[in-house]
Amino acid sequence: LEFGEGKGKAERIFGFMDVFLENDPLSLQKDILDHVEFTVAKSRFNFDDFEAYQALAHSVRDRLIERWHDTQIIFSKKDPKRLYFLSLEFLMGRSLSNSVINLGVRDQFADALSQLGFEFEVLAEQEGDACLGNGGLARLSACQMDSLATLDYPAIGYGLRYQYGLFRQIILDGFQHEQPDYWLNFGNPWEIERVHITYPVKFYGTVTDEVLNQEKYKVWVPGEMVEAVAYDNPIPGYGTRNTIVLRLWAAKPSDQHNMEAYNTGDYVDAVVNRQKAESISSILYPDDRSYQGKELQLKQQYFFVSASVQDIIRRFKDSHKNFDEFPEKVALQLNDTHPSLAIVEVMRVLLDEEHLGWNKAWDIICKIFSFTTHTVSPEAPVKIPVDLLGSLLPRHLQIIYDINFHFVEKLKKMIGLDYDRLTRMSIVEEGAVKNIRMANLSIICSHTVNGVSRLHSELLKTKLFKDFYELWPHKFQYKTNGVTQRRWIVVSNPSLCALISKWLGTEAWIRDIDLLIGLKDHADNAELHQQWKMVKKVNKIRLAEYIEAMNGLKVSLDAMFDVHTKRVHEYKRQLLNILGIIHRYDCIKSMNQNDRKKVVPRVCVMGGKAAPGYEMAKKIIKLFHVVAEKINNDNDIGDLLKLVFIPDYNVSVAELVIPGADLSQHLSTAGHEASGTSSMKFLMNGCLLLATEDGSTIEMIEEIGQDNMFLFGAKVDEVPALREKGPALKVPLQFLRVVRMIREGHFGFKDYFQSLCDKIECENDYFLLGADFASYLEAQAAADKAFVDEERWTKMSILSAAGSGKFSSDRTIQQYAENTWGIQPCRCPF
Ligand code: B1N
């Protein structure tokens, strides 16, 4: 395509493309009906809501594709430095509402549909969630893609197209059961299969030496070959034509390597065997912390990395003659250690396929990779057994050893023969089982190591990666996480969105979140208070209806909706919440009628999945259910306290739950939550936080003010001393009492809960539930007190939303672009 600057053929084509797909009601209706007839293959005179949704989704997809093509033309023409965002998890949720809002055609589509007799909201409910990730880390990737597109950055996301997303959680008799999430069952209109964009991915085999032009080279002769096929998911920006792509890889059998099998063996067996290749991208691992050292998981990581790296290098070579410019054109972001084999893979390609030689290749590596870590736990660094790596990726193991050799030599020169430190910093962990430490590899080879909150970064520098920080202080940065206000206000809370725009007099905050602070000027305005409360009520009604439909439980709208939703983990202390609820119940029971009138009624909502093999987490879910069973059926309690467990918590459920919350709980033991992002979504929706001073909460205190939050618990520097005390630590009597109630079978399942009780009472109570209990109850009491003062509560709620601007992923991404990736916006001018 010829592209004259500002004139010529390309512009004429653009002029045409600009009006390619019309967005007036008639054109939209025609498009939808066309898709009913020809894509869904149903008669345009007879189709149901789901078929209407499919046709609608395809009409939206056409518009996404149009803009994506335009964006690509600009990117190829301008050839800016691109960011490649590598993540094994993306939690995209639904796409329809988000897409039409970002495309700016929501109202047009809604009008067009209503004339056809359909309601947009009803059709939007037909869509299933894309759950290709576990929790915070994965949803963060999704929010960041939205910001990258909106801020016009030339970026591509890479991930895996799992056939089974995160398991569906079913609750039977209070116990969690897992069911596979075959999310592609009903087709996926949001992806574009690229049958021609495929790459071979090699596994196993041996490495031999070969000589070419008198130079020795390593040649990897693989033992197995699998094909990676690209599936493109367009990501539209808001308030811009820019649309970027999330490219997900699916594994398909390859014909290149297995021709023999057809000729020699049983034909049917050969075909069946060949099909096994697909299992590589079949399932998302549901355990978000512990790495099991499973071969399939390592295969997934390499499969995804290899396909992405081939794609990146192919794109670069399409318009560049040699690798000199590579670091000026390519930034590779590693989302945690999971994709860190990318480092070794690029090195391998540069050495063995491009023959650049060690120094040149290493020089490139050091300029292109940046690494973000999301963990605080020193117990769970990802380690890969050397034997496993050596058999699956023999050449990569050699390269890792070489990198380590160079590193250790250099290190010795810098720090001398401090063997303890050398041992700690080495990529190779010696011992009975030799391991490769993926975090060390990532730090050594990246130019920047980012934490996800200020506190997290401090912990990295002083604890987890202290040795590395002392060596390379300049590498360490942090970017406090953020979430996208497009998804978490505009899509999920349309009433609040309209109210904010009305009071700010502009919709510009949807792209420029800093404007949100303008609400502060109206924080005492009675009229705003009235409207703010109405919006909360609308959202509480929506949530109450959902609860009734799910659990058959009617909840009072006057009660405080107190929400605790996130993955279930001991460190997140859902158990602390349950103990607090039991205490509340116990108190109400012992009150006379007069005192009961002063009790603030609560609906305690909990939701979240436990990893299938995580026994303690599963017990916590069961405990919530038995306690709920008892309290909800106690006529003596009535509406004063109701417990609701929301099963299968995911992105679309969160969109409903978060706007309806009055209070939300974030209870991690200080020093354990690297950042936490759900709190940011609650904050934006004017929900008050009850939280420990952990992760990003510390920065929220600065933005919102501690008077507008309910803070409690040990601070991070107090935790070690409390742990030290062990059994000598004094815990409040109320704590002992509620634990005894569980132990003695007050809620049934006595034996089943003993181990849970032992952990917090007899064993060392590692997460300090006993130590924090009194302070937790005080914070809860403060929340009750604030809630009865409606005016005060509403003001706090307004100030929470007003002060949430810092926690937009737009800010995070801009900081990454400027301080880590070195990329510039590249905007589609039409
Ligand atoms: O990443 C989020 C943070 O806000 C949370 O504090 C942090 O816990 C979370 C292995 C993880 N850390 N590590 C993971 C996810 C999947 C997996 O397979 C680890 N997730 C976090 C975003 O920064």
For 751-761, what is each residue's pLDDT tens digit?
999 999 999 99
Over residues 141-187, the pLDDT tens digits come to 999 999 999 999 999 999 999 999 999 999 999 999 999 999 999 99
The answer on 646 and 563 residing in a single domain is: yes
**Which pLDDT score, from 0 to 100, does residue 661 have?**
98
Q: Does residue 439 sit within a domain? A: yes
Over residues 729-787, the pLDDT tens digits come to 899 999 999 999 999 999 999 999 999 999 999 888 999 999 999 999 999 999 999 99
Over residues 600-650, the pLDDT tens digits come to 999 999 999 999 999 999 999 999 999 999 999 999 999 999 999 999 999
Average pLDDT over every residue of 425-450: 97
Write the DSSP symbol of residue 115.
H
Tokens describing residue 70: 């335009």
* Distances from the Cα of 77 to the Cα of 64, 237, 331, angstroms: 20, 20, 19
The vertex-759 CA angle with 753 and 765, nearest 5°, equals: 145
Residues 6+ apart with CB under 8 A from 751: none
What is the rounded CA–CA span in Å between residue 671 and residue 714?
10
- Active-site pick, 67, 395, 566, 806: 566
What is the rounded CA–CA span in Å between residue 740 and residue 761?
10
pLDDT band at residue 214 using 50, 70 and 90 as cut-offs: confident
What's the CATH code of the domain at 730? 3.40.50.2000
Give ipTM to 2 decimals. 0.99
Task: Output the residue whose Cα is nearest ligand 1's atom 11.
Answer: 288
pLDDT at 13 over 90: no
What is the whole-number distance in angstroms between the Cα of residue 269 and the centre of ligand 1? 41
User: Which of 764, 766, 760, 755 shows the shortest CA–CA distance to 714?
Assistant: 766
pLDDT at 6 over 50: no
Which one of 137, 336, 382 would you pick to mutate in the ligand 1 pocket, going by the greatest count of ligand atoms within 8 A of its CB?
137
- Active-site pick, 567, 618, 759, 795: 567
Average pLDDT over every residue of 196-219: 94
Task: Output the residue whose Cα is nearest ligand 1's atom 22.
Answer: 137
- Active-site pick, 39, 240, 372, 677: 677
What is the rounded CA–CA span in Å between residue 215 and residue 213?
5
pLDDT at 415 over 50: yes
Q: Does residue 630 sit within a domain? A: yes
Q: Does residue 543 sit within a domain? A: no
Tokens describing residue 114: 């209503």
- Active-site pick, 35, 161, 584, 681: 681
Question: What is the residue-averaged pLDDT of the chain?
Answer: 95
Q: Which domain holds residue 303?
A: 81-93+129-480+815-821
| Contact call for residues 58 and 50 (beta carbons, < 8 A) | no
Over residues 66-103, the pLDDT tens digits come to 999 999 999 999 999 999 999 999 999 999 999 999 99
pLDDT band at residue 258 using 50, 70 and 90 as cut-offs: low
What is the rounded CA–CA span in Å between residue 374 and residue 112?
44
pLDDT band at residue 262 using 50, 70 and 90 as cut-offs: low
**Which pLDDT score, from 0 to 100, does residue 17 have?**
52
What is the rounded CA–CA span in Å between residue 33 and residue 96?
17
CA dihedral 448, 454, 459, 462 (to 10 degrees): 70
Task: Output the residue whose Cα is nearest ligand 1's atom 10.
Answer: 288
Q: What is the CA radius of gyration of the chain?
A: 28
Task: At 164, give phi and psi (nearest 5°).
Answer: -115, 120
Residues 6+ apart with CB under 8 A from 551: 644, 645
pLDDT band at residue 274 using 50, 70 and 90 as cut-offs: confident
What is the whole-number distance in angstroms between the Cα of residue 647 and the centre of ligand 1? 21
Q: Is 294 a catalytic residue?
A: no
Task: At 83, give phi and psi (nearest 5°).
Answer: -100, 130
| Contact call for residues 428 and 414 (beta carbons, < 8 A) | no
| Nearest atom (ligand 1) to Cα of 372 | 23
The answer on 106 and 87 residing in a single domain is: no
Task: At 745, give phi and psi (nearest 5°).
Answer: 85, 20
Angle of helix 769-788 versus helix 574-589 axis, rounded to 10: 60
| Contact call for residues 333 and 479 (beta carbons, < 8 A) | no
Q: Does residue 539 sit within a domain? A: no
Tokens 């993540």 belong to 87
Q: Does residue 486 sit within a domain? A: no
Residues of the chain above pLDDT 90, percent: 91
**Which pLDDT score, from 0 to 100, does residue 3 have?**
37
The answer on 790 and 648 residing in a single domain is: yes
**Which pLDDT score, from 0 to 100, does residue 263 have?**
67
The answer on 89 and 64 residing in a single domain is: no
What is the whole-number distance in angstroms between the Cα of residue 468 and the centre of ligand 1? 22
- Active-site pick, 447, 475, 572, 602: 572
- Active-site pick, 82, 168, 252, 374: 374
Over residues 317-328, the pLDDT tens digits come to 999 999 999 999
The answer on 269 and 150 residing in a single domain is: yes
Q: Is 338 a catalytic residue?
A: no
**Which pLDDT score, from 0 to 100, does residue 37 have?**
98
Q: Does residue 524 sit within a domain? A: no
Over residues 331-369, the pLDDT tens digits come to 999 999 999 999 999 999 999 999 999 999 999 999 999
| Contact call for residues 513 and 811 (beta carbons, < 8 A) | yes
What is the rounded CA–CA span in Å between residue 483 and residue 98?
14
Residues 6+ apart with CB under 8 A from 817: 83, 151, 153, 823, 824, 825
The kind and range of the H/E element at 469 are helix 466-471
| Contact call for residues 384 and 298 (beta carbons, < 8 A) | yes
| Nearest atom (ligand 1) to Cα of 374 | 12
What is the whole-number distance in angstroms between the Cα of residue 748 and the centre of ligand 1? 34
**Which pLDDT score, from 0 to 100, does residue 5 have?**
41
Task: At 809, give phi and psi (nearest 5°).
Answer: -65, -15
| Contact call for residues 251 and 277 (beta carbons, < 8 A) | yes
What is the whole-number distance in angstroms between the Cα of residue 136 and the centre of ligand 1? 6
Strands (E), 147-297: 155-160, 165-172, 175-181, 192-203, 206-212, 215-221, 224-236, 243-253
pLDDT at 305 over 50: yes
pLDDT band at residue 19 using 50, 70 and 90 as cut-offs: low
Tokens 């809501």 belong to 49
Q: 87: helix, coil or strand?
A: coil
Tokens 């815990």 belong to 731
Q: Which of 2-6, 9-13, 754-758 has the highest mean pLDDT?
A: 754-758
Task: Output the residue whose Cα is nearest ligand 1's atom 1.
Answer: 137
Tell me how many domains the chain contains.
3
The answer on 286 and 248 residing in a single domain is: yes
Q: Does residue 541 sit within a domain? A: no
The answer on 65 and 196 residing in a single domain is: no
Burial (Cβ within 10 Å: 0-12, 13-18, ≥19) of residue 707: exposed
Helical H runs in 604-696? 615-632, 651-657, 678-684
Which one of 337, 374, 813 would you pick to mutate in the ligand 1 pocket, going by the greatest count of ligand atoms within 8 A of its CB?
374
Task: Output the residue whose Cα is nearest ligand 1's atom 20.
Answer: 137
Residues contacting ligand 1 via CB (< 6 Å): 89, 134, 136-137, 140, 288-289, 374-375, 452, 481, 673-677, 695
Q: 327: helix, coil or strand?
A: helix
The kind and range of the H/E element at 489 are none
What is the rounded CA–CA span in Å between residue 171 and residue 179?
11
Over residues 456-503, the pLDDT tens digits come to 999 999 999 999 999 999 999 999 999 999 999 999 999 999 999 999
CA 780 to chain centre: 29
**Which pLDDT score, from 0 to 100, does residue 75 have?**
97
Question: How crowded is residue 477: how many other Cβ atoms within 10 Å of its Cβ?
Answer: 16
Q: CA 70, 339, 470, 417 torsion: positive or negative?
A: negative
| Nearest atom (ligand 1) to Cα of 673 | 6
Which one of 139, 141, 285, 288 would you pick to mutate in the ligand 1 pocket, going by the greatest count of ligand atoms within 8 A of its CB?
288
Q: 81: helix, coil or strand?
A: coil
What is the whole-number distance in angstroms between the Cα of residue 695 and the centre of ligand 1? 12
What is the whole-number distance in angstroms between the Cα of residue 689 and the centre of ligand 1? 21
Q: Is 566 a catalytic residue?
A: yes
What is the rounded CA–CA span in Å between residue 355 and residue 352?
5
The answer on 87 and 123 residing in a single domain is: no
The answer on 788 and 652 residing in a single domain is: yes
User: Which of 150, 247, 96 shows the shortest CA–CA distance to 651?
Assistant: 96
What is the rounded CA–CA span in Å between residue 730 and residue 733?
9
What is the whole-number distance in angstroms between the Cα of residue 474 and the centre of ligand 1? 24
The answer on 155 and 123 residing in a single domain is: no
Tokens describing residue 75: 């990117």
What is the whole-number distance in angstroms between the Cα of residue 61 and the centre of ligand 1? 31
pLDDT at 291 over 80: no
Beta bridge partners of 334: 86, 371
What is the whole-number distance in angstroms between the Cα of residue 692 and the centre of ligand 1? 18
| Contact call for residues 465 and 443 (beta carbons, < 8 A) | yes
pLDDT band at residue 11 using 50, 70 and 90 as cut-offs: low
Average pLDDT over every residue of 566-588: 98
Tokens describing residue 662: 């009055």
What is the rounded CA–CA span in Å between residue 397 and residue 405?
12
What is the whole-number distance in angstroms between the Cα of residue 221 and the centre of ligand 1? 36
The answer on 158 and 111 residing in a single domain is: no
What is the rounded CA–CA span in Å between residue 684 and residue 803?
8
What is the rounded CA–CA span in Å between residue 411 and residue 424?
12
Average pLDDT over every residue of 116-122: 97
Beta bridge partners of 561: 603
| Contact call for residues 705 and 546 (beta carbons, < 8 A) | no
Q: Does residue 290 sit within a domain? A: yes
What is the whole-number distance in angstroms between the Cα of residue 621 and the centre of ligand 1? 21
The answer on 197 and 100 residing in a single domain is: no
**Which pLDDT score, from 0 to 100, does residue 58 have?**
98
pLDDT at 4 over 90: no
Tokens 């979430």 belong to 483
What is the whole-number distance in angstroms between the Cα of residue 675 and the centre of ligand 1? 9
First vs last Cα of the chain: how many Å apart? 18
Q: Is 572 a catalytic residue?
A: yes
